[in-house]
Amino acid sequence: MNNLTKILIADDHQLFLDGLKLIFSNIPYIEIVAEAKTGIQVIEAFELHQIDIAILDVNMPKPNGFETCKLIQQKYPKCKVIILTMYNENAFIREFFKSGASAYILKNAGKAELLIAIDKLNKGEKYISKELEKDFENIPKDDFVKTFSLTPREIEIICMLGKGINSNEISEKLFLSAYTVITHRKNILKKLSLKNTAELMSFAYEKGLL
């Protein structure tokens, strides 16, 4: 690879940003041109730098990873987006690819996998973590996310509930008011015709979301 790949890294944890910078520090064909902790900072960085690949976390605030990915694809369609996250839920992955992401990698990936993904993106290909690839290929095309018109935010909340995160913690992590989280939960139950969280978790597991 002869051309320099200019990368933006975005995560709301400085320690993780520092780790990414260290990973790429000795790679001659990669340059970190910007870093951000919020979606707003990501978009602002595009006004100042030429960016070939943006590496985004899901839980960034203002706006989150879903919305930031969509904004990048709308305003800077030539930029490739890598989602680097701890979430391995199938529907979550599908929604990110629908929003314009080119790669989806778990945060437990190593340096080698990140470099493979960047190489594939530079060749115009897409990439998904090897441990997710098989399960992702087996997702039915008529999955219930589309059937019940669940939004990316609703999927995110379902996934967090599946990990045992309560409404107050969801509110803090997603920078939403407690009222907004409760409203989302009510809307989810209404869309799926379910009575409570227990039924929601059972339904989500049955359909492969968790």
Per residue in 63-81, pLDDT tens?
Answer: 888 889 999 999 999 999 9
157 and 63 together in one domain: no
171 and 98 together in one domain: no
Give the range of the structural domain holding residue 73, as residue numbers without chain letter: 5-137
Mutual angle of helices 152-162 and 167-174, in 10-degree steps: 130
30 and 14 together in one domain: yes
pLDDT band at 2 (very low <50, low <70, confident <90, very high): low
**Sign of the C-alpha dihedral, residues 93, 96, 121, 125?**
positive
17 and 120 together in one domain: yes
pLDDT band at 21 (very low <50, low <70, confident <90, very high): very high
CB 178 within 8 A of CB 168: yes
CB 110 within 8 A of CB 131: no
Q: Write out the two tokens for 191.
A: 């869309």
d(CA 9, CA 54): 6
Residue with tokens 């973590």: 129
63 and 89 together in one domain: yes
Give the per-residue pLDDT at 166: 92
CB 42 within 8 A of CB 12: no
pLDDT band at 140 (very low <50, low <70, confident <90, very high): very low
Q: Which of 132, 136, 128, 135 is nearest to 101 (CA)?
A: 128
d(CA 209, CA 88): 9
Task: Tally the domains of the chain.
Answer: 2
153 and 124 together in one domain: no
Q: What is the mean pLDDT of the chain?
A: 86
The enclosing domain of 24 has a CATH number of 3.40.50.2300
The pLDDT tens digits for 24-48 are 999 999 999 999 999 999 999 999 9
73 and 152 together in one domain: no
% of the chain beyond a pLDDT of 90: 52
For 136-153, what is the mean pLDDT?
A: 61
The pLDDT tens digits for 154-195 are 888 988 898 889 999 999 888 889 999 999 999 999 988 899
